[in-house]
Amino acid sequence: MTVRVMGVLNVTPDSFSDGGRYLGVDAAIARGLELAAQGAHIVDVGGESTRPGANPVTAEDELRRVIPVIEALAAEGVEVSIDTLRAATARAAVAAGARIVNDVSGGEHDPAIRRVAAETGARYVAMHWRGIPDPGHERSRYGDVVSEVRDELARLADAALAAGIAPERLVLDPGIGFDKTAEQGWRLLAELPRLAGLGFPVLVGVSRKRMLAETLGPAASMADRDTATAVVSALAAGAGAWGVRVHEVVPTVHALAVAEAWGAAAGSHDSPRQAPGAEPGTGIASPVTELVGASGAPRDRITLTGLEVFAHHGVFGFERERGQRFLVDVEVSLDLRPAAAGDALERTVHYGELAEAVVAAVRRDPVDLIETVAERVAGVALGFAGVAEARVVVHKPDAPIDASFSDVSVTVRRRAGERAQ
């Protein structure tokens, strides 16, 4: 699956990034069409700024700003997202043609927005949020920012599912820049696979954020931030992000194209054959390929075999009602030398925790296909720090087949940063 590029369209007078350039309806429509033409898969229309110190907007003003724009863009075949905190705005936006509800509060500001997404069938983006961003970072106090944000996103996901949103319609956003310091933002980006391990697509929005300016230095212009945004977007894609939210689409589209070409070449089977572990053209083993092998994944493995889970997956109604046994085998690839050298559990994958995470992933949210279950488990396995590749086999020994058989299974092999086609 191609990484989804979400182009930002602020129909506001006080956005930090564009200063009200697209407040007028005609200007906003023209900009939305431009973003789509430049390669945005989604145009995210917002009528209220969430920057610190922004003036509150009434529901009426928000609707007046966004609805004509959404109607016009949807009529041109553009996939539109509505960036709002309000259930009423979300409902009106979907009626006007929006197909995604992007809620920076994750449903905390107006819980009814979750029901709107469920009832309309819109895709719902739930962002990690502790309130309107606080410049003083009073709410940025975390013990372990990755673990805490992951746990809070899991809670938001549970609330969304409880409201009736289908699991396949839910996207999570770690809320980079929202009550997180620059250091915390970089930590979250570096461990995106752990967030993706919750089993839902992840949207990353770092476009023009202060953390980029802090990294680039005081002389950095907005164009410099856009360049940095494109770099982060490509890296996020490589870490498994479903989508990236950006103000300037072209640099990110170009960066993603380059990253995709690189990845395609790295995974190509058309290259001249070399001896195992050989440097190209030499036949001499490289320390890197000796360690990682031809696939790019470490040769070291941790394997769990025969995890038995009772769950309710299946196409037929009686499978959902009665449930049945599933057996799961998981193999993860990582470099085990650091753990062995220091006899350090924290430098490897705790197979007890891996087993618990796999069992939890199989038990939750019944689906039709064991292919879906296998993909979910692979995402969970890749969420553990250091895992470069996961091989998952899901067995369905009691499948409703009218013939004698011993087993039915699905096998998937996924690398960190790899996305479904």
Nearest to 103 by CA among 53, 160, 145: 160
In a domain, 286, yes or no: no
Nearest to 245 by CA among 1, 6, 2, 3: 6
Strands 170-173 and 123-127 turn out to be: parallel
In a domain, 210, yes or no: yes
Nearest to 3 by CA among 200, 238, 336: 238
* Residue 261: pLDDT band with limits 50, 70, 90: confident
The reported pLDDT for the residue numbered 290 is: 40
In a domain, 142, yes or no: yes
Is the same domain home to 59 and 197? yes
* Residue 244: pLDDT band with limits 50, 70, 90: very high
Nearest to 373 by CA among 333, 337, 418, 328: 328
| d(C-alpha 233, C-alpha 217), whole Å | 20
| d(C-alpha 168, C-alpha 5), whole Å | 19
Give the number of domains in the chain: 2
Is the same domain home to 44 and 103? yes
Take residue 116 and report the two structure tokens written for it: 């709107």
Is residue 384 over pLDDT 50? yes
CA 119 from chain centre, in angstroms, equals 23
The reported pLDDT for the residue numbered 178 is: 87
DSSP assignments along 159-172, one per residue: HHHHTT--GGGEEE
The reported pLDDT for the residue numbered 341 is: 86
Q: For 277-311, how does the pLDDT look when each residue is reduced to its tens digit (9 = 90+)?
A: 333 443 333 343 444 444 445 568 999 999 999 99
Going by the DSSP 8-state scheme, the letter that residue 345 receives in this structure is G
Quick one: CA torsion of 223, 227, 229, 230, rounded to 10 degrees?
Answer: 140
Nearest to 300 by CA among 311, 309, 291, 289: 291
Q: What is the mean pLDDT of residues 77-98?
A: 97
Which CATH number belongs to the domain containing residue 392 in this structure? 3.30.1130.10
In a domain, 282, yes or no: no
Is the same domain home to 8 and 153? yes
Which CATH number belongs to the domain containing residue 139 in this structure? 3.20.20.20
Is the same domain home to 197 and 89? yes
Element (H or E) spanning 306, and its range?
A: strand 301-311
On whether the CB atoms of residues 257 and 3 are closer than 8 A, the answer is no
Q: For 315-333, how does the pLDDT look when each residue is reduced to its tens digit (9 = 90+)?
A: 999 999 999 999 999 999 9
Which parts of 95-150 are beta strand (E)?
A: 100-103, 123-127
Choose the weakest-confidence range: 117-126, 256-265, 325-334, 400-409: 256-265
Which of these three, 263, 279, 314, is where a domain ends? 263
Q: Please give the angle made by the CA atoms of 208, 213 and 216, to the nearest 5 degrees.
A: 125
Query: Which structural domain range is residue 172 located in?
Result: 4-263
Catalytic residues: 209, 245
